[in-house]
Amino acid sequence: MRLLRFDSIGPLAYLNKKKEDWGKKVINTLARKDYLTKILDLKANFSDFYTYHLRELGWEAEEFIIGDNTYIDKVASENGVKFINIAKKIEVLKNKIKPIHKRWDKKQIRAYIKSYHPDVLFIRAGLGIESSFWQEFSKNCLIVSRIAMKIPKDWNMYDWDLIYTSTNAYKTFFELQGVKTIINSNGFDSRILNKITNVPKAYEVSFVGGLGLDVFQERTTLFEYIAKQIPLYWWGYGKEKLKNENSLLASWQGIIGGLEMFEIYHQSKIVLNDYGSIAEGEAVNQRIFEVLGMGTFLLTKYAKNLSDMFPKNILITFKDEKDCLDKIQYFLKNETEREGIAKELQKIVLERYTYKNIIREIDEQLKQAYQKKYGLS
């Protein structure tokens, strides 16, 4: 079977910085496929964690990157568009007559889907293209979405044949509306371990992720409290939303992603974790598996479902600000215990929560959904 998966590479500021480092001259020489390989090799967001392992199971599977104009223009070139700058200006003029959101991107997506002939379209929510757009291809494709964020205004549960989510609240709600929904855990891609150099710990306490935004209010308050007490190294977005007197401003180290983020995890003694409001108190975020997969000590906010994911009393959690600070101070002083816990949890992640294992389940689920939609035995 053939699958085309749509996602982004982010944070966008991180991708743009990498493109600056590569230089326009190098980028311009790359064909679409080579450029795609280069940005997937950053191992940012979900990279090729789905499609790589689907290909190992016999699928023809490929990533399509949305949100990067360079990639879309290379798709256009491969679609046979000549004089791309002129072609884009024509689309701008058409938009003045009949406005269509992301007209240029959609035109290239349509053409690429037509040439690729996928059986399954797998689209991560939050890419800025309304879910109704994908219904154009529903006659010939299984239309699948994965959502683990606040429901975007342009995303409708009824536009999908199948929804994946890491949040039980979403699964319950969508299925009450009659939409087939499957819980899909985040995980860790063990290939990352082969790309990280073993170096000494450089950071006592770190965090990589968003702060300052409305969905991170509780997390921001917690980390501000921690940053007032001890040195905290924070990489991520949302800095502009913080007030000038916020202690987190001095903790901010910039925006990173991909392998550089994994290097930070590897070089940290303790990595903190909390959940956005959309999780509704569930521990479901990707960071849990990324940090533990790297063999680094994770200190995460308590959630009931953690006991379903890991053996009891192994993963160290906190319940409030003071509990978090107390445990940071304790485990910074007790290296042997800290590193022993980290290694034990890494073993569990590599046994249970690798993308290789996760994709085995998705392989069967997608095939079953496809057969059901088209009445195949």
What would the pLDDT profile of 73-119 be if each residue is shown by its tens digit?
999 999 999 999 999 999 999 999 999 999 999 999 999 999 999 99
pLDDT of 281 higher than 80: no
Specify the pLDDT at position 187.
96
Helix (H) and strand (E) counts in the chain: 16, 12
Q: Are 279 and 251 in contact (CB under 8 A)?
A: no
- In this prediction, residue 194 has a pLDDT band, given cuts at 50, 70 and 90, of very high
What is the total residue count of the chain?
Answer: 377
All domains in the chain, ordered by first residue? 2-186+356-373 (3.40.50), 190-353 (3.40.50.2000)
With the C-alpha atoms ordered 363, 368, 369, 373, is the resulting torsion angle positive or negative? positive
What would the pLDDT profile of 37-55 be if each residue is shown by its tens digit?
999 999 999 999 999 999 9
Out of 185-194, 242-251, 359-368, which region has the weakest mean confidence (pLDDT)? 242-251
Cβ count near 224 (within 10 Å) = 21
- In this prediction, residue 245 has a pLDDT band, given cuts at 50, 70 and 90, of confident
How much of the chain exceeds pLDDT 70, in percent?
A: 98
pLDDT of 251 higher than 90: yes
- Degrees (nearest 5) of the Cα angle 226, 339, 333? 50
What would the pLDDT profile of 196-221 be if each residue is shown by its tens digit?
998 899 999 999 999 998 888 899 99
The amino acid at residue 234 is W
Per the listing, tokens 């690798």 go with 354
The amino acid at residue 55 is R
User: Hey, what long-range contacts does 77-82 have (CB within 8 A, 24 or more apart)?
Assistant: 77/32, 78/31, 78/32, 78/112, 79/108, 79/111, 79/112, 79/115, 81/108
- In this prediction, residue 279 has a pLDDT band, given cuts at 50, 70 and 90, of low
Cβ count near 352 (within 10 Å) = 15
Can you tell me the distance from the alpha carbon of 146 to that of 138, in angstroms, rounded to the nearest whole number? 17
- DSSP state at residue 5: E
Backbone angles phi, psi at 312, to 5 degrees: -60, 140
- DSSP state at residue 152: P
According to DSSP, the β-strands at 162-165 and 181-183 are parallel
- In this prediction, residue 157 has a pLDDT band, given cuts at 50, 70 and 90, of very high
DSSP E strands: which ranges in the chain? 2-7, 60-65, 120-124, 142-147, 162-165, 181-183, 203-208, 233-235, 252-254, 268-273, 297-301, 316-318
